Structures are given as structure tokens and as C-alpha cells.
Structure 1
Amino acid sequence: MNTYKNLVETVIQENLKTLLAVNPEQIQELISEIKKAKTIQLYGMGRMQLSVRGFAMRLKHMGFDSYVVYDTTTPCIGKGDLLIVHCAVTNAELNVIQLAKQAGARIVLLTAHPENEHGKYADFCVRVPGQIFGTDTEIHSIQPMSTLLEQSLFLFTDIVTMMLMDQCDISLDKMKNRHTNLEGLPGGFA
């Protein structure tokens, strides 16, 4: 029987192994693309969208013009823009990638499978090898389905956020000033 403590240790080790397997050169390429993009649009489905929304929010807090695909305020995409797709394995994602490519946007995939058809349309991929299908190229997980990849992408984009803050000299105070002030926190954002 698995105890809570054993499960915590295993899940953390799975994420550690997945995140340490990411190529640092690919991470730096992603950061460079973000820094030069006019707008950044992010796409993910299901639970992957949780990491997409979290990253879009942090990009906004840093001063980047970021959006989640299909939100009502998301503008058209085109030349000079960047589409970042989390996971990139379904036909729905492939459609979004193809449409963005036709519009002239640059495409980045954060995916365990850069070798698939989606990767052929991408300008580049960041391989985050968390389990999704259970293939030999993925970090295997005791967690169900694509949970490891979902968790790893959330952590990965939070780490990229901290790298962007450092490389772009974005202070926490600057980010706080871009955070919503409609939450009703006593004394503002703490």
C-alpha cells in the first residue's frame, strides 16, 4: 500500500527527472523567442490549459503582451507573434498550429513528442519528456495518464518565468504593479 509520504516522494522525483531532462539550449531559445515576440499566444487543452493560463498570467505580470488562444480578448495572430503550444499531440492542437503558421506566426511546442506531425510545423520544440502515452522516450510515471507532463509543464513555465525575470531585469515590484488590484486584499498585494 502506498502511503502519502511515499507518493509525495515518488511524484517529486518524477518531476525532478523530467525537468532535468530538458535541454538548456532549448530553454534559452524559448526565452529568446518570448523576448522578441510582438504578442505571445498560448494554447493547451484540458488540464494542460492550467499551465497555459498560469504562464500567460506571469508573462502579463512581466509586461509581455500575452493571451490564451480562444479567450474573448485574444487578438488575431500573425507575423512577429509567437504561439506556444503545451503538449501538442491532438488534432485540435494541430489545427491551431497550422492556422498560426499560415498566419505567419512563429511556433514553439512544449512537448514530450517533438517528432510527431505537430513538430514539423514548429519553428522549434522544447522537449519536456513527461509521460503522456507511456512510450520509451518518456519519463514513466506512477500517476495516471498525462499527469506527470501536466505537472512538469506548470513547473517548467514557472522556472522559465524566473529566468525571464533575471535576464530581463524584471523586479518583483514591477510584477506586483501589473497584478490585479481588484482582489480586495487589505493593503494591496502582499
Structure 2
Amino acid sequence: MEYKELVEKVIQENSTVLNLVKKEEIEVLLSEIEKAKTIQLYAMGRMQLSVRAFAMRLKHMGFDTYVVYDTTTPAIGKGDLLLDICAVTNVELNVIKCAKEAGARIGVLTAHTENEHGKLADFSVFVPGQIFGGEKEVKSIQPMASLLEQSMFLFVDIIVMMLIERNNIDISKMHKRHTNLEGIPTAFA
């Protein structure tokens, strides 16, 4: 396939996945984020890129947010929220079990809400991008879990925009919470 054909196909695949996410599940996710004392995010591999981007924006909005296993991540417990993005590996299952035992609420954003991870979760958001090529997944011309990884990055950015609107978050305050150690010239800041 030529470049432009691939662009169209990849964009269409992501659109298909994102349009299959249920509004009711999005509402639960938004509500759980808004009421959590702290939010801890977990994913593995390339999926962790979307986790780190999501954590950064949640922090910019003023939510007390951490990435699991970072050195500054506190203990999780009652009133806290663990969001596991992808939720298919044994490592993720262990993280979910530990958080559950500590009394945290658990949410999974995954293409496999039917697995043990989803059954242990307090809520789930079905984002059906290809991981393994399973029956419920949106099929992709891309290798491995690329479609889910891309869709998840877009999905959490859309969730950020919804949180900004729902909570009347001042974007200028978000800018002030952004690191100032990057050395961005004041003409651009």
C-alpha cells in the first residue's frame, strides 16, 4: 500500500474503535476520576505511552495523579482509583489484585472486559482495538496491538477534553502547572 492509503486506513481503524466506546462507560470513567482521592495509572510496553500522557494532563488539570511503579507514587488505598490500560497480562492482573486488596477502586480500559482483570474491576471501558486479533477486537492492518495503543492515546486525550469542559478547568491554570524547566522562550510561553 502507498503512504496515503495507509494514512486513510489507519485513521479509519482508529475512528471505528473510538466510535464503538459506549457513552455510559465514559460517564462512569469521568465520574470515578472526578471523585478519586488519587489516581494511579498502569500499563505496560507501548501502552504506557498513553498512560504517561494521560497522567501528565490529569496533573495539569489538578488531579492528584501517579504512574504505578514510579519512585514518587504513594501507597494506594481506600478512596483511590487504579486505572489499568489494556489489562490483559499477568503482571497487570497482579497490580489489580494488590490495589483491590488495598481497598482502591479499579477501572480497566481494555478490549477484553470479559477476562479476570475485567471481572475484578469495579468498572470497565470497552475500547475494542486489536491486541491479539480476537473476535471482539476491531481488526487492523497494523501489527500486533498498534491499533489499541493509538486508539487509547486518542481516547484518553478526548477524556481530558471532556474533564476540562465538565469541571470548567481554566487552561491557563493548566499551563501554570506544566513544568517550567524545559527552557521554553517566553515569546512562546
Q: TM-score, normalised by structure 2?
A: 0.99
Are residues 189 and 179 of structure 1, via their aligned partners in 2, closer, same or farther at CA, if it must alter by over 3 Å? farther
Gaps of 5+ in 1: none
Q: 1:183 is matched with which residue?
A: 182
Aligned: 1:27 with 2:26: yes
Shift >6 Å, 4+ stretches: none
Q: 1:116 is matched with which residue?
A: 115
Aligned: 1:39 with 2:8: no
d(CA) in 1 for partners of 2:132, 2:178: 37
CA contact (8 A) 1:176 1:189 kept: no
Counting only pairs closer than 5 Å after superposition, residues 94-173 of structure 1 correspond to structure 2 as: 94-173=93-172
Aligned CA-pair RMSD: 0.8
d(CA) in 2 for partners of 1:10, 1:109: 27
For residue 184 of structure 1, report the CA deviation from its aligned partner. Answer: 0.5
Q: TM-score, normalised by structure 1?
A: 0.98
Q: 2:48 is matched with which residue?
A: 49
State the secondary structure of the residue aligned to 1:141.
coil
d(CA) in 2 for partners of 1:151, 1:129: 12
For residue 19 of structure 1, report the CA deviation from its aligned partner. Answer: 0.2
Q: How many residues align?
A: 189
Letter in 1 for 2:130: Q
For residue 189 of structure 1, report the CA deviation from its aligned partner. Answer: 5.9
Are residues 92 and 111 of structure 1, via their aligned partners in 2, closer, same or farther at CA, if it must alter by over 3 Å? same
State the secondary structure of the residue aligned to 2:99.
helix
CA contact (8 A) 1:14 1:141 kept: yes
Q: 2:72 is matched with which residue?
A: 73
Deviates more, 1:170-179 or 1:60-69: 170-179
Are residues 52 and 37 of structure 1, via their aligned partners in 2, closer, same or farther at CA, if it must alter by over 3 Å? same
Q: 1:84 is matched with which residue?
A: 83
For residue 135 of structure 1, report the CA deviation from its aligned partner. Answer: 1.2
Letter in 1 for 2:178: H
Q: 2:92 is matched with which residue?
A: 93
1:119-155 Cα distance to aligned partner (Å, 9 max, x none): 1110010000000010111100000000000000000
Aligned-residue identity in percent: 70
d(CA) in 1 for partners of 2:134, 2:83: 24
CA contact (8 A) 1:181 1:189 kept: no
Gaps of 5+ in 2: none
State the secondary structure of the residue aligned to 1:134.
coil
For residue 172 of structure 1, report the CA deviation from its aligned partner. Answer: 1.2
